[in-house]
Amino acid sequence: MTGAIIAGIGATEFSKDSGRSTMQLAAEASRAAILDAGLTPHAIDGLVTFTVDGNDELELMRNLGIDEITWWSRTPGGGVGACATVQQAVAAVTSGAANAVLVYRAFNERSHFRFGQPHARATGPAPLDWYFNFGIDTPAKMYALWFRRYMHTYGATNEDFGRYTVSARRYAATNPRAWFYERPITLDDHQASRWIVEPVLRLYDCCQESDGGVALVVTREERAADLEQPVAIVAAADAHHRLASITANYYHEDLATYPEAAACARQLFESSGLTPSEIDVAQIYENFSPLVFLVLEAFGFCGPGEAVPFVADGNLDIDGALPTNTHGGLLGEAYIHGINSIQEGVRQVRGTAVNQVAGVEHCLVSSLNSGLVLGPT
Amino acid sequence: MTRAAAPDDAFFWAAAAEDRLVIQRCADCGTLRHPPAPMCGHCGSLAWDAAAASGRGRIYSWMYSLHPNRPDDDPRVVILVQLAEGVRVVSNLVDAPPGGEYDDLEVVVEFRDDRGTRTPFFRVVP
């Protein structure tokens, strides 16, 4: 146990055109999370979001009526840091730097700034020049160059990846919050969708671009008795290696692996004493479908190169060995930079998910390099 | 090629202007590194020189780069080349043979002008 809990969760609707400012989305989701925790804005004294979030902390405090905070932080790397936001909040509340931390992420990522479009790199870290100038100008392309090596090493095909998408869309089809609610697809539909990055990613391998906001409240475990629906943060981890690059993994010795996710898994399992077989349900960040395969192998849910049959055999289904992305994932529910998958993890532990797994003791939430294990208090 | 002014990699592009492919090498421990960086992550040395690369390597990974939702120029084949010396570089495959399946193909450097900058690209070794 980390000594910290998630006390409350909140979100806006997930759409393609919210019709309101990102600050309003952040404020709506945050207020919902604070009230869900049974707290008032005055109780919040810490804030965490992503470095790329466009909402100013002081402006959010003014909206919410948070009077004074003692600590704030941001995590780099976009979705790489989705679970790291919670790890930071855990560090703050267990060290005494803060008592109750609001974690938030809100954007109009479809109606305003689309991540999936090529953007001229006017500013930003100089290392990007080594990639943008050769045509790696979208996240799909950044990751495809990594995933292709996995395909080549193990003979995985785009159709293999499509079986994950079909699973995610099946879960989304029964989730009223999901953009693809009541819209499942078949493997044929997947194979008929257009190439985004041939020969790796089709349209249905790519996460959505979404408008919306999600927030969480993290506090100390000792306060759990006074809260209505606390969820324990059993373990929290984050891992970064120097052979990585700013775009994706190009320089590790073997690109058919995901060393940072393996390091995150090692931290989570060592600190909790758990093993992969004790994880009842998983929420795995998938900006693109192949990532699920690499993460399944990195966490030891199956051996190297075995994720293709692991997925094809139905292990990710609601009655499978590892029900995965039960909200529909970032492909099926929405892309709120991975924070919505933490929220689904909280629901699975509370027993309030729409696609509920029975008797959840341990839910894994993986977001690229960072991860959490959640469980009952 | 459009680049921000970056003193750490000026040597690479100065060599490229003369059609030479070079790799940064630690002057103390000999470790090669790419992309260029001011300090050796292996021994901490700030001393380095530029080693001449053979220009040969093989395609470690690849993909087609197209605009996601509008007609584009001819697709660029983006490649991650494992140079014979051991480091990897991102580049494009020029005069790519049709049909894809570029994994593990042997390639050799070929310098071309790209938007005013002499740039190392690669072609398949016949």
Q: Where are the domains of chain A?
A: 4-112+208-376
Residues of A in contact with B2 (CB under 8 A): 129, 133
**Angle (CA) A169 A332 A48, round 5°:** 150
Give the integer Cα–Cα distance in Å for A263 and A183.
36
Owning domain of residue B116: 7-124
Question: Any idea which residue has 């509920």 for tokens?
Answer: A356
pLDDT band at B4, cuts 50/70/90? low
Is residue A257 within 8 A of residue A241, CB to CB? The reply is no
Residue B16 lies in a domain: yes
Q: Can the peptide bond before residue A199 be classed as cis, meaning omega within 30 degrees of 0?
A: yes
Residue B62 lies in a domain: yes
Q: Which residues contact A132 (CB under 8 A, 6 or more apart)?
A: A121
Residue B49 lies in a domain: yes
- Residue A31 Cα, gap to closest chain B Cα (Å): 37
Residue B70 lies in a domain: yes
Ramachandran area for residue A6 (φ above 0: left; ψ -120 to 50: alpha; else beta): beta
- Does B9 or A169 have the greater pLDDT score? A169
Residue B2 lies in a domain: no
Q: Which residues contact A312 (CB under 8 A, 6 or more apart)?
A: A160, A163
Query: In which element (H, E) is residue B109 found?
Result: strand B106-114
Give pLDDT, residue B30.
98
Give the nearest partner residue to A250 out of B8, B68, B90, using CB atoms: B90
Closest chain A residue by Cα to residue B75 = A135
**Angle (CA) A246 A251 A255, round 5°:** 110
Residue B80 lies in a domain: yes
Residue B40 lies in a domain: yes
Give pLDDT, residue A122.
45
Q: Which residues contact A316 (CB under 8 A, 6 or more apart)?
A: A164, A167, A322, A323, A324, A325
- Complex ipTM: 0.93
The CA radius of gyration of chain B, in Å to the nearest whole number, is 16
Residue A149 has what DSSP assignment? H
Residues of A contacting chain B (CB within 8 angstroms): 116-118, 126-127, 129-131, 133-138, 140-141, 144-146, 148-149, 152, 195-200, 242, 250-251, 255
Residue B58 lies in a domain: yes
Give the nearest partner residue to B61 out of A135, A137, A148, using CB atoms: A148
Region B36-58 average pLDDT: 97
pTM for the predicted model, two decimal places: 0.96
What does the pLDDT look like over B58-107, one tens digit per residue?
A: 999 999 998 766 666 678 999 999 999 999 999 999 999 988 899 999 99
DSSP per-residue codes, A289-339: THHHHHHHHHTTSS-TT-HHHHHHTTTTSTTSSS-B-TT-HHHHT--STTH
Give pLDDT, residue B68.
67
Q: Is A22 exposed, middle or buried (0-12, 13-18, 19+ CB in 10 A)?
A: buried
Q: CB-based contact (8 Å) between B60 and chain A?
A: yes
Residues 87-126 of B with CB under 8 A from A: 88, 90-92, 100, 103-104, 114, 119
**Angle (CA) A300 A302 A305, round 5°:** 110
DSSP per-residue codes, B35-81: S--SS-TTT----EEEEEP-SEEEEEEEEEE--SSS--SSPEEEEEE
Which active-site residues of A does the annotation give? 285, 335
Tally of structural domains, chain B? 1
- Does B34 or B75 have the greater pLDDT score? B34
* CATH pick for A4-112+208-376 out of 3.40.50.10480, 3.40.47.10, 1.20.120.1770, 3.90.180.10: 3.40.47.10
Q: What's at A304, amino acid-wise?
A: P
Give the integer Cα–Cα distance in Å for A330 and A335.
5
Give the nearest partner residue to A152 out of B64, B76, B103, using CB atoms: B103
- Tell me the mean pLDDT per 10 residues along chain A, length 377: 97 98 98 97 98 96 98 95 97 98 96 82 62 89 96 98 98 98 98 96 97 98 93 98 83 95 98 98 98 98 98 98 98 98 98 98 98 97
Give the integer Cα–Cα distance in Å for A5 and A234.
8
Is residue B62 within 8 A of residue A145, CB to CB? The reply is yes
DSSP per-residue codes, A61-123: HHHHT----SEEEEESSGGGGHHHHHHHHHHHHHHTS-SEEEEEEEEETTTT--TTS-----S
